[in-house]
Structure 1
């Protein structure tokens, strides 16, 4: 497994676990009241921050155990990175459009923020899955 594939796995797993932790925290705070009344901002910021720190620490730890020569980037790595980023960006765009429509319809901030966070997580997961699949198989021929 290449260095860049390992990074994709780390980001994929951290994004999924971070969002799962956030959902668990928010749902446990609901206590049979409407979700929109649950205080979410601090939990969202802390889980995003913790996911970023966890990803950085995991990548640094992984890089420390990887020989420098295997961390070099070649054309295939760049193409896989570009393809994964392009595929994942679709959820960022969908989240932005959805949040804009929700804001125009005067939805509660809770739902808007959670849609944006969900779409960022889905983008990270889709990006990671795309990269891992392409690393395991090959780049598509267009």
Structure 2
């Protein structure tokens, strides 16, 4: 397994794990409050984003330490796979941002707009990782 494929697996694990914890924590409160404006979502959202960044960095460093000889071995295939994964993820992000945009135009509570934006980013990250892993396993 190449270094770039390991990084795609790390990215996928983070893109699944942290949002599941975040959404379970925050959306679990929706039924217990009268108004979603009472839910304190900003701090958990910032923690989820920060944790994703830190975990990605730390686990990438661990992957580098585990196999330092693979780190600098990238070729045209790695570049093409990365480019394709990011391209498709960009399309998913653009399409996903339609929902929070529509919520904004409908003057929905900020809570739902923020959840829609975070979900769009999560789906984009997950799409990128899945596309890259699939490309490494089956080809472009």
Would the TM-score normalized by the shorter structure come out above 0.5? yes
1:22 equivalent in structure 2: 22
2:114 partner SS: helix
| Range with bigger deviation, 110-119 or 69-78 | 69-78
1:67 equivalent in structure 2: 68
Deviation, structure 1 residue 30: 4.0
Deviation, structure 1 residue 91: 2.2
2-structure distance, mates of 1:98, 1:24:
20
2:8 equivalent in structure 1: 8
2:128 equivalent in structure 1: 127
| Range with bigger deviation, 98-107 or 38-47 | 98-107
Instruction: Give the 3 Å change call, closer, same or farther, for CA 14–78 of structure 1 in structure 2.
Output: same
Instruction: Give the 3 Å change call, closer, same or farther, for CA 40–79 of structure 1 in structure 2.
Output: same
Q: Which runs of 5+ in 2 are unaligned?
A: none
Corresponding position: 1:80 with 2:81: yes
1:107 equivalent in structure 2: 108
TM-score, with length taken from structure 1:
0.90
2-structure distance, mates of 1:108, 1:69:
47
Deviation, structure 1 residue 79: 0.3
2-structure distance, mates of 1:14, 1:74:
25
Instruction: Give the 3 Å change call, closer, same or farther, for CA 19–110 of structure 1 in structure 2.
Output: same
Q: Which runs of 5+ in 1 are unaligned?
A: none
Are the counterparts in 1 of residues 14 and 55 from structure 2 also a CA contact under 8 Å? Answer: yes
Q: List structure 1 segments (4+ residues) > 3 angstroms apart after TM superposition.
A: 27-31
Are the counterparts in 1 of residues 4 and 78 from structure 2 also a CA contact under 8 Å? Answer: yes
Root mean square deviation, CA, Å: 1.6
Measured against aligned partners, the alpha-carbon deviations of 1:45-101 in whole angstroms (never above 9, x if no partner) come to: 011101110111000011111133553221000000011111111221023222222
Deviation, structure 1 residue 24: 1.9
